[in-house]
């Protein structure tokens, strides 16, 4: 069990398309457990492997509100096989884009195929908050951040602020 450092934008790894996982083995299971520890510690409700500098198609999520109703979801090579025509708008944030939030429009429900931590093929129909979270995390696997869904004006303003914060952290 370990809490890993989380990359923040701008960072080239966050813009890279992650590789498919060929085998769900102990290395991947350890990665998923470390990612969950990192996510709960942050705290957050979703995390993708590129955010902890691992460019592979692995995501974890938990939209449970308290420690008692934790229901972690671990997904390897997730793929959206169906999306609703109806959209939903949520104010999104991201552990890699700290302190910034913005409304993002995405399909209201999606059906996702993935491999679980044992390598078994699974399917989930994600609706509401979970639909938003799974789409947000899957975007990370293609090098896409939620700020790529908003106006370039607002995106560039956020990126400038994040870059400035990074420089200040380096200088201090």
By annotation, the residues acting in catalysis are: 137
* 9 touches Zn ion by CB under 5 A: no
* 131 touches Zn ion by CB under 5 A: no
CB of 36 vs Zn ion, minimal distance in Å: 15
Cα separation, 147 vs 93, whole angstroms:
9
CB of 93 vs Zn ion, minimal distance in Å: 8
Token pair 């290395």 in the structure block, residue = 27
SS3 77: strand
Nearer to Zn ion, 94 or 115 (CB): 94
Site size for Zn ion (CB under 5 A): 1
Nearer to Zn ion, 52 or 94 (CB): 94
* 18 touches Zn ion by CB under 5 A: no
Q: Are strands 109-115 and 58-61 parallel, antiparallel or unpaired?
A: unpaired
**Secondary structure in 3-state letters for 102-144:** EEEEEECEEEEEEECCCCCEEEEEEEHHHHHHHHHHHHHHCCC
Taking CB under 5 A as the criterion, the residue among 52, 76, 94, 162 binding Zn ion is 94
* 31 touches Zn ion by CB under 5 A: no
Q: Is the peptide bond before 43 cis (omega within 30 degrees of 0)?
A: yes
CB of 45 vs Zn ion, minimal distance in Å: 10
Interface with Zn ion (CB under 5 A): 94
């Amino acid at each position: 069990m370990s809490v890993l450092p989380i990359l923040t934008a701008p960072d080239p790894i966050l813009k890279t398309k992650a590789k498919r996982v060929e085998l769900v083995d102990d290395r991947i299971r350890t990665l998923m457990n470390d990612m969950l520890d990192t996510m709960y510690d942050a705290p957050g409700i979703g995390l993708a492997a590129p955010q902890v500098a691992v460019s592979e198609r692995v995501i974890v999520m938990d939209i449970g509100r308290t420690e008692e109703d934790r229901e972690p979801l671990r997904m390897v090579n997730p793929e959206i096989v169906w999306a609703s025509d109806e959209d939903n708008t949520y104010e999104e944030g991201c552990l890699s884009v700290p302190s910034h939030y913005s409304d993002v429009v995405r399909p209201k429900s999606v059906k996702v195929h993935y491999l679980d931590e044992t390598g078994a093929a699974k399917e989930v129909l994600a609706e509401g908050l979970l639909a938003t979270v799974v789409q947000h995390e899957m975007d990370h696997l293609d090098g896409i951040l939620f700020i790529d869904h908003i106006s370039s004006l607002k995106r560039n303003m956020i990126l400038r602020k994040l870059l400035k914060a990074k420089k200040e952290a380096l200088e201090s």
